[in-house]
Structure 1
Amino acid sequence: MFGLIFRSLVALPLPLPLPLPLPLPLVLLVAPQLAVLPAGAAELKAPGSQSCPLPKPGRYVLMGEGQKGVQPLAELAQEQWLPGGRIEGVRYSRLGQGFEEETYGATYSSMPGCWLSIKPVGRSSRRPLQVALDRTGRPKVAIGTEVGVVFSAQYVEQSEVSCGWKQLDGLVISVQRGNSLEAGRWLPNAVIQREVWNAGQVRGKAVSSYGGKSDVVGYTGTMELAPNCLAKLREVDAAGRAYNYRAIVLASGRGYFYLQTDPTDLTLGYLARQR
């Protein structure tokens, strides 16, 4: 945001003459190995067994990307998982040049094998998903089940505390991939960044490759950050080009996620705060 292994039965060959007995010391060396189980074997359970954990209520951030037809897509969301199978969230979404922001509701229900099914409620355009849980019931990875769409995502647990500049100030480094629209075609881009934050102001340097054309540029920017950890970010590089993002800051202080909103550039990134 991923069963049991069945061994085939094979017909045994004709019996071979029995080998001579092994010397006693060698038997003592070999016999203990026959009883050794693979690491974690005791934890293997059949799909749908009662060992599956219950979904853990809490706040989570979802970050995912994929493709619909020839258009790239990406989503960034913050969700509150509630007891009883309800989800309330805020979602930022890109499909090609389009951008959408919405609040939504959804439901989650258990499936065999420690999986969940998530379905939107009402008119929400949030994608239906199948989600894999970890051993404690937290969502970890997901895949979209919408026909004609390829989409995968990962979840990050978001603590319930409010966000402020203390969770972001300092050095942040990232590596990310995206897409840029050139002459009617979406071409891949890649960017690495090193930036320093101070009270909502950022100064950094980016090394990028847009469609195979390399560039190195400095930039500055400002962020509007709400206590619920949702943010807007605007950056301007040394050549005067502006870049706009919706962002979610991690309350743990681990950094932030962002989704670019400029129509001809689609980048979804995780920028990791260095401690």
Structure 2
Amino acid sequence: MRIPPPQFSVVPAGRAIRVLAFGDFGTGSAAQKQTAAAMVAYQKIHPFDFGLTLGDNFYPRGMKSPDDPRWQTQWEQLYGVMHIPFYAVLGNHDWSGADSPAAEILYSARSQSWHMPSPYYTFTAGSVQFFAFDTPAMDEAELKWLDEELIRSTARWKVVFGHYHIYSATRGDNKELIARLLPILKKDHVDVYLDGHDHNLQELKPEGGVHFFVSGGGGAGLYEMNPYDRSVFRQKINGFTVLEADDKTLAISFVGTDGSEIYRRTLTK
């Protein structure tokens, strides 16, 4: 199952897109349900083309099987009601259950909303190419794959999304990803690296043209943040991220559980 499919397309080239992204959510908590309800309400006014999950999809040890009843209570009933496809990656809590990575991949065949063809894969949508990256099980084969796919890409914008942070005001610098992943992102001109893992919303200072965002406010217990010289924006709050892109701009915004936009960053080319 750790063999990525060929690149695929989910939105035709040239079309503007709006994308939902969030991580660290599958607890069944009141906060998860409230945040999901805010996404559904936002979708009715500002329709999404598709969504991304940023890992820790299900706590505490992922899913036991594709038949786990929580697929209904913690996924379909909360997010499937938006009737959009979601493209998911694994977090450390998904990997902590022996059967969960396989269960999350296999469930793709049973759902219209959940898509995880492999722990890592790439697809295009409008003027953006997205690269789903499996940070908890990162190895040399996956890094080589990412490098080659980024070099091959002709997309206007390149967005890599995974679970572990590179920079964060909660955990600080991730030395392994800085040493092994960041050089590839910089060399291959990635525009955005989007992750979860820390349960809050953050933007960190860009480096080598790469802009960093943390979107881990999907419903798990919130995390504090520390003084950190790379912080651009940070808030200890439940919420989600919206990406809007066309040929000229890529906007990343954070939205709270009341549906209001908390913060926006717009990149231009």
Give the TM-score taking structure 1 as reference length. Answer: 0.29
- Higher RCO (C-alpha 8 Å, min separation 6): 2
Find the structure with the greater CA-based Rg.
Answer: 1
More helix by share: 2
More strand by share: 1
